[in-house]
Structure 1
Amino acid sequence: MDRLNAIRLFVRLVECGSFSAVGREEGIGQPAVSKQILALERYLGAQLVLRTSRQITITEAGQTFYATAKQLVDGFDALESSVGERQQSPRGMLRINTAPAHGRLCITPLLPGFFRRYPDVAIELSVSERHVDLVGDGIDLAIRHGRLVDSTLTARKLSEMDFVLVASPGYLAAKGLPTRLADLDRHACIAFAKDRERYPWSLKVKREKVSYVPRGSLITGDAEQIRAAVLCGLGIAQAPYWLVADEIRSGVVQVLLPELQPERVPIHLVYPSGRRIPMRLRVFIDYLVSAFERAER
């Protein structure tokens, strides 16, 4: 038995809550994880985990062992990284998840520079409007927009984004220019929806937050479709600035009611807590943060 590896697996078992999740994370089968934990228990002469067909429970001895074991694993990983990184360049596969439009417009254009700097790192980029299960889906890093609610993830702030109300000049010429919040009621509003539920627009009126439920003929769960609908003159939409930045600068779309613009919304890089961060992930995080900082200057 490789005791250090078995201890590492036990630490991840406590944090993940299942043998199968640890197996997926480590790229080994669930029986192999269970076998190593059992061998560790035999070596220690104590039961660390109670197993049932539906769940696992960490015993009192297991909880006590975990506290010291995590310090041991974290300390060893830090030592290994500090020595190993001086000897080799980052390599291997990174699995990254982001929203489709943000990936296409803001992340993919940055990848050529990253690959020139780190040619031995490969990236599998998956896109989804939903929040994926990082551990269950084997994702190394996700880019999340808005306030974070998952306390089991480690987060690093990437940027902040403005939301703007926009419409095409052609639509405004036909329907008129709204000058106050109440004017939106007589306009076609393009709504973003999830599970067929319209997301309210977050606005600010005299320093007070206001939720406005957009009403119109088009509802979509895809940011790219909202952008396309605005360009087609189908109505007014609230969109993150990065989605329509080029069109705003060129005059293809017009910003409306800027005094109603809400507070900026954070964008975070999130990754599972409690595990060693491989060098390839660390350099990718640093590269993205640096690139976004340069873009905002």
Structure 2
Amino acid sequence: MDRLSTLQLLIRIVELGSFTRAAQEGGLGQPAVSKQVAALEARLGVRLLERTSRGLKPTAAGLDLYHSAVRLIADLEETESRIRSGSSGPAGLVRVATPPALGRMYIIPRLPDFVAQFPAIAVEFSVAQRTVDLVQEGIDVALRVGPLKTSNLIARRIGSMEMLTVATEGYLAARGVPHHPHHLDGHSLIAGHTGGAIHDWQFRNEGAALTVTPAGALRSDDGEDLRAAVLAGLGILHGPSALLRADVDAGRVVQVLEQFTPEAVPINLVSTGGRKMAQRVRVFMDFLAATFATDPGLASR
């Protein structure tokens, strides 16, 4: 097996966390895969992989080689795509992970301009409320809303988003208008969740944080479900402006507790690449940054 094929194999081992799964995927025997990795480690003089209770994970040297190999393969694939298409610009596939509302409502409607400028680039969306693992799932860039955890990923802030508390006029006429977060007790609160864990609602009260755990007639891990529920008059929803601002502006829902609105949360692009990032990924990230910068509701502040 040549050096490039060995690097491709190492990439899949790291991403799958298993010699066996990488071997099955590549139509190889597990001993052959182990032998190739051992030969690579011997040539470099370092350990690249180590076993843990959860499978295989790269050592520091292995992770360094993994990132370099990913960029190398990405550059090669981009060059091949550009040559095949006869294009002089960036080419290939960009895999992007987005929360549902941001992709559907803000990015996809503006993609025609990007496609017109970069016709040789294809975009693949992975839509999820959860935080995706870029390495394990082969994602080039992900949008993250909220504070970022410490990691080895490269982050680029491109905007911010407010949280709005809303309900229909009909619901408020029947149940009353809350004038303080403490008045939410007794109301039907539409709750978002991830894996069954309810998302708390955060407010600001005279400079101090105030947390409410919602409970009511409906909970969902999908933003469109939550929006549909509040529009149906099922209760009060505390959700992102990206999902709800158009409904507020159109009068379909009414904003309440405005004086307790928490600070806007950051929107970041995260990626594994740095200076050697594939050009197709870089131009798509620039497109996303420009898209958010020109929207008053999402621009950084």
TM-score by length of 2: 0.77
Instruction: Report the CA distance between 1:113 and its aligned residue.
Output: 1.1
Structure 2 unaligned spans of 5+ = none
For 1:12 and 1:224, the matched residues in 2 are separated by 36
SS where residue 268 of structure 2 aligns? strand
Against the structure 1 CA distance between its residues 161 and 128, is the aligned structure 2 distance closer, same or farther, given a 3 Å change threshold?
same
Query: Is the deviation greater in 277-286 or in 247-256?
Result: 247-256
Query: Is the deviation greater in 232-241 or in 134-143?
Result: 134-143
Deviations 1:133-157 (A, max 9, x none): 2222221121111111150322111
The answer to whether the 8 Å contact 2:202/2:212 transfers is yes
Q: What residue is the counterpart of 2:198 in the other structure?
A: 198
Q: Does 1:240 align with 2:249?
A: no
The answer to whether the 8 Å contact 1:162/1:262 transfers is yes
For 1:56 and 1:149, the matched residues in 2 are separated by 20
In the TM superposition, 1:202-221 aligns within 5 A as 202-221=202-221
Deviations 1:54-96 (A, max 9, x none): 54675xxx95x998x899x69x97xx99xx89x9301111111
For 1:274 and 1:29, the matched residues in 2 are separated by 32
Q: Which amino acid aligns with 1:172?
A: L
The answer to whether the 8 Å contact 2:15/2:137 transfers is no
SS where residue 214 of structure 1 aligns? coil
Instruction: Report the CA distance between 1:275 and its aligned residue.
Output: 8.8
TM-score by length of 1: 0.78
The answer to whether the 8 Å contact 1:100/1:129 transfers is yes
Q: Does 1:123 align with 2:123?
A: yes
Against the structure 1 CA distance between its residues 213 and 92, is the aligned structure 2 distance closer, same or farther, given a 3 Å change threshold?
same
Deviations 1:209-234 (A, max 9, x none): 11111121111111111111111111
Q: What residue is the counterpart of 2:140 in the other structure?
A: 140
Aligned length: 281
Instruction: Report the CA distance between 1:164 and its aligned residue.
Output: 0.9
For 1:149 and 1:20, the matched residues in 2 are separated by 29
Against the structure 1 CA distance between its residues 14 and 217, is the aligned structure 2 distance closer, same or farther, given a 3 Å change threshold?
closer
Instruction: Report the CA distance between 1:197 and its aligned residue.
Output: 2.8
Instruction: Report the CA distance between 1:38 and its aligned residue.
Output: 4.3
Runs of 4+ in 1 over 6 A off after TM superposition: 6-17, 27-33, 50-53
Q: Does 1:170 align with 2:170?
A: yes
For 1:186 and 1:130, the matched residues in 2 are separated by 30
Deviations 1:216-270 (A, max 9, x none): 1111111111111111111111011111111111211111011110111111111
The answer to whether the 8 Å contact 1:6/1:37 transfers is no
For 1:252 and 1:52, the matched residues in 2 are separated by 55
Structural RMSD (CA): 3.8
The answer to whether the 8 Å contact 2:189/2:215 transfers is yes
Q: Which amino acid aligns with 1:265?
A: V
The answer to whether the 8 Å contact 2:11/2:66 transfers is no
For 1:57 and 1:292, the matched residues in 2 are separated by 35
Q: Does 1:101 align with 2:89?
A: no
Deviations 1:15-62 (A, max 9, x none): 8795769x79xx967878766554445556x4544776954675xxx9
Structure 1 unaligned spans of 5+ = none
Name the % identity: 35
Q: Does 1:183 align with 2:183?
A: yes
